[in-house]
Structure 1
Amino acid sequence: MLVGLMQPFKQPTDLAKQIAIQAQSKGIDILYINPSAVDEEDNTVSGLMLHGDTWENVEKDLPEIIDVSVFCLKAKRKIKYLQQHAYLTEDGKHRISKENVQEMLHKDQQLQTYAIPTSRCKTFSIIKGFLLKYNKVVVRPIYSSPGENIYKIEQVDTDTFVVSHQKSKVKLTLKETFSYFQDMISNHSYIVQKYIPSKTEQGEPFNCRIHVEKNKEGKWTIVQKYIRVGTGQLVSPNSQQGVVTFDASMFLKLKFFEDAPAVENHLDTMALHIAKKIEKTRKKELVTLGFDIGIDQDKNLFLFEAISAPDTSLLEEKVAQLRTDYYAYLVKQHTRPFPKKHM
């Protein structure tokens, strides 16, 4: 059986090679493809297949199953075409923004405890209202990589505010704070949220990254969870500013002692429930998700980010194993007849 692996890179990644190798042992051939290589005239695609240790150029009929990276969704015309001719693991429909995911949690009685009070902020008055209510808030762009361009604002008194960003902190007046943020939020899409203090004993921000994948039974399973600490940072772990990772079990034992097993179990349950909720909301079965989860001193959990394409660099072999198991599951389940010729 031929399965397509669509990624935005011209040359296959290390993960793609791992997937191709493990797929072969399960009777599946992987065709590595780029959106630009799809020929809409004759329903074929030019791609690469792994032979031995070498990727070789081939031309094939479109695979009936294609694992699509979210980074390929910019090729909207190609994706729309492929929807008519193949089963796609990601089609871009009903995607959920940082703002929408909080609304989704808030409306669900079982999941609302994980939600963070959030509002779109097109004017500074929205931020000011949140400050009056919560005293400390974060302002973040709706569309950005996890942990990037996040600002923390703390109101000290009626005319004094402390603004923190990455490794810097500045004290501003109300007028200066207004000027600092007004242009930013009026020209780009930002949200304001209640600040959740997820910090180490040294005061550095941390979150728990949980990576989930589908397994051979088509069910969500946790690949790995690890703690990301923003060393020397003030607001949120940002990889570009330096992040140190720790095994989640070890970190939780050091921080919460005998309560660590309960916190870890809660993290697992939360991630699996939210993954199912996102699929239900999107009306689409997905193959991979990542979650950045905050934990406050009272061991309450909060969803900071839901990530469509979590980083796999620390766990490529595990991801490849599960991904190819899921391909085998899809091959067995896949019965939809797709036309072989362009209609």
Structure 2
Amino acid sequence: MMYKCPFISLENHRDENELILPQSIYRKFNFSGQPMLKAGASSLRVNCSPSAGGSTEVMLKSRDPLFTSIPQMENVLMTIDQEHQCISIGPITALLIDHCDEDTLNTHSLKKYFTECRRWFQERGGFFYLLPVTSFLKNEPEGFVFDHDEWQRVSVPLPHVIYNRSHSRKVEKHTLYESALRRIEDQSVHLFNSSFLSKDIVHTYLQSHSQLQSHLPETGQGLDRLDEMLSIHKDIFIKSVNGSKGRYIIRIQKREKDYLVFQNSFSSKRTLTFPTYSSLYRQLQSWCRSSCYIVQQTIPFMKVKEQPLDFRFLCHKNRKGSWTVISTVARIASEKQFVANIDQGGRMEPPLSILTSLFPHADSGLIFSNMKALSLSASAFLSEHLKGHYAEFGIDIGVDSEGKPWIIEINSKPSKKTFVDNERIRPSVKALYEYSYNIWKEKENEHESSTWDHDA
């Protein structure tokens, strides 16, 4: 059975662990032995006793720092399995972040996202904390918990779910990271979005899908096909396979007497011209020697007042484990940019209003639906074929003059800057909770089917 109660943990001066339950709960079960209390993938034996009076609070007295670090919560979801003498609280979710300290968190670019996650999990009865990648790699049970109006580094229980938001590709290539992934899987911790997606691998997978391949620009690996593709298309993009946030992208237009180049990462001069292909190629070799690149046909997407336009579809697995679109936004490039990324100064607009301004009203809704369907198909296909678990994708789509959608890029760590409503909890936060709840309940349901009890 499941209950929703206030929760407090205190340090016990005795060796035993004591769990004090509201009388309304305690009377329904036989706690003659020492039930197992589970918080995420961590557990300890407890002696259960009823609370005094009519208290509805669950109180844990323990000397285990993994449990005493759980902050006081107004709501916690608790399941009780009488047959297996097991009490579980959850869902417990950790956000894997790059190494930082308490002071850095106060100025972190994702500070508002962290706060929203902590607040929403608390309201719904879950526990959310931040897990530095250093603790994850070294198997140290330390994370940042929000308590007394600030993030504090303390010992933490192993979570049910880890959402990887580390932005270090170097970390993900380290042998310690691979070892950590195997270790937490052995401990029944579910980690999702385990790595960045490289553009070449994503294209290769999507190209194998018969219904998706017609929505992909022609793409070549490396610079070997550059001359050929410029001769055919006259306008191409060169993209670093590991680039993000609109960086390390080059656009080249072949004109009658020269080549026009746009870039935003290699030189302070954003627009350059080259009189010959050989001079262009020498410069590209200098720029691109430190990474792998793809060459991609430029699709003539619709623009807004001559500025590049694309659409970001944020897709997430829901409580049932199915993919759903949880938010969409139109992104319009800034005046001096040739990409529409928000990190490069782009602005956001409602998608349907932008589509209605570009196409007949009767067509705009169908175009939007087609983009949404394309996003869901790509998400489901990639999550099925990629190694590891994936539950969130940011999918960038462009639309040509015929209203046909084209997949530009798919991100496994989509920006959290594409949400502007300061009053509401953003959809991606709610989706993270729903997904975490589903993972927790799947684990619980391996032993018994739970039912809601709102009386406690």
- Fold match (TM-score > 0.5): yes
Question: SS where residue 205 of structure 1 aligns?
Answer: strand
Give the aligned partner of residue 263 of structure 1.
367
1:114 corresponds to which letter in structure 2? Answer: H
Would the alpha carbon gap of residues 63 and 276 (structure 1) be closer, same or farther in structure 2, given more than 3 Å must change?
Answer: same
The partner residue of 1:197 within 300, 307, 315 is 300
Question: SS where residue 334 of structure 1 aligns?
Answer: helix
- Residues 313 and 375 of structure 2 are in contact (CA less than 8 Å); yes or no, is this contact kept in structure 1? yes
RMSD across aligned positions (CA): 2.5
In the aligned structure 2, how far is the partner of 1:55 from the partner of 1:134? 53
Structure 1 position 155 matched with structure 2 position 155 = no
Structure 1 residue 115 displacement after superposition:
1.2
Structure 1 position 68 matched with structure 2 position 164 = yes
In the aligned structure 1, how far is the partner of 2:378 from the partner of 2:407? 9
More helix by share: 1
Would the alpha carbon gap of residues 163 and 3 (structure 1) be closer, same or farther in structure 2, given more than 3 Å must change?
Answer: closer
Would the alpha carbon gap of residues 237 and 38 (structure 1) be closer, same or farther in structure 2, given more than 3 Å must change?
Answer: closer
Structure 1 position 302 matched with structure 2 position 406 = yes
Highest Rg: 1 or 2? 2
Would the alpha carbon gap of residues 218 and 165 (structure 1) be closer, same or farther in structure 2, given more than 3 Å must change?
Answer: same
Structure 1 residue 169 displacement after superposition:
4.8
- Residues 310 and 399 of structure 2 are in contact (CA less than 8 Å); yes or no, is this contact kept in structure 1? yes
Question: SS where residue 200 of structure 2 aligns?
Answer: helix
Would the alpha carbon gap of residues 254 and 9 (structure 1) be closer, same or farther in structure 2, given more than 3 Å must change?
Answer: farther
Counting only pairs closer than 5 Å after superposition, residues 191-270 of structure 1 correspond to structure 2 as 191-233=294-336, 235-258=338-361, 259-270=363-374
- Residues 260 and 271 of structure 2 are in contact (CA less than 8 Å); yes or no, is this contact kept in structure 1? no
In the aligned structure 1, how far is the partner of 2:335 from the partner of 2:271? 10
Structure 1 residue 253 displacement after superposition:
0.4
Structure 1 residue 100 displacement after superposition:
1.9
Identity %: 18
Question: SS where residue 303 of structure 2 aligns?
Answer: coil
Structure 1 position 285 matched with structure 2 position 389 = yes
- Residues 348 and 418 of structure 2 are in contact (CA less than 8 Å); yes or no, is this contact kept in structure 1? no
In the aligned structure 1, how far is the partner of 2:340 from the partner of 2:93? 36
Structure 1 residue 38 displacement after superposition:
4.2
Structure 1 position 107 matched with structure 2 position 203 = no
Deviates more, 1:53-62 or 1:96-105: 53-62
Would the alpha carbon gap of residues 171 and 257 (structure 1) be closer, same or farther in structure 2, given more than 3 Å must change?
Answer: farther
Structure 1 position 20 matched with structure 2 position 92 = no
Question: SS where residue 138 of structure 1 aligns?
Answer: strand
Give the aligned partner of residue 133 of structure 1.
232
Give the aligned partner of residue 120 of structure 1.
221
Question: SS where residue 104 of structure 1 aligns?
Answer: helix
In the aligned structure 2, how far is the partner of 1:171 from the partner of 1:38? 48
1:309 corresponds to which letter in structure 2? Answer: K
Q: Where does the alignment leave 5 or more consecutive residues of structure 2 unmatched?
A: 1-89, 106-110, 265-269, 420-424, 447-456
Structure 1 residue 180 displacement after superposition:
2.2
Give deviations 1:276-321, integer Å, cap 9, x for gaps: 0110121443221101111111112111110111112343622211
Give the aligned partner of residue 434 of structure 2.
325
Question: SS where residue 329 of structure 1 aligns?
Answer: helix
- Alignment TM-score, normalising by the size of structure 2: 0.66
- Residues 44 and 60 of structure 1 are in contact (CA less than 8 Å); yes or no, is this contact kept in structure 2? no
Larger relative contact order (Cα-Cα within 8 Å, sequence gap ≥ 6):
1
Structure 1 position 97 matched with structure 2 position 198 = yes
In the aligned structure 2, how far is the partner of 1:289 from the partner of 1:99? 16
- Residues 164 and 193 of structure 2 are in contact (CA less than 8 Å); yes or no, is this contact kept in structure 1? yes
Structure 1 residue 271 displacement after superposition:
0.7
In the aligned structure 2, how far is the partner of 1:291 from the partner of 1:261? 19
1:7 corresponds to which letter in structure 2? Answer: I
Would the alpha carbon gap of residues 64 and 323 (structure 1) be closer, same or farther in structure 2, given more than 3 Å must change?
Answer: closer
Give deviations 1:76-117, integer Å, cap 9, x for gaps: 41433333322212333xx64211222222211111111111
- Residues 245 and 344 of structure 2 are in contact (CA less than 8 Å); yes or no, is this contact kept in structure 1? no
Structure 1 residue 223 displacement after superposition:
2.0
2:126 corresponds to which letter in structure 1? Answer: I
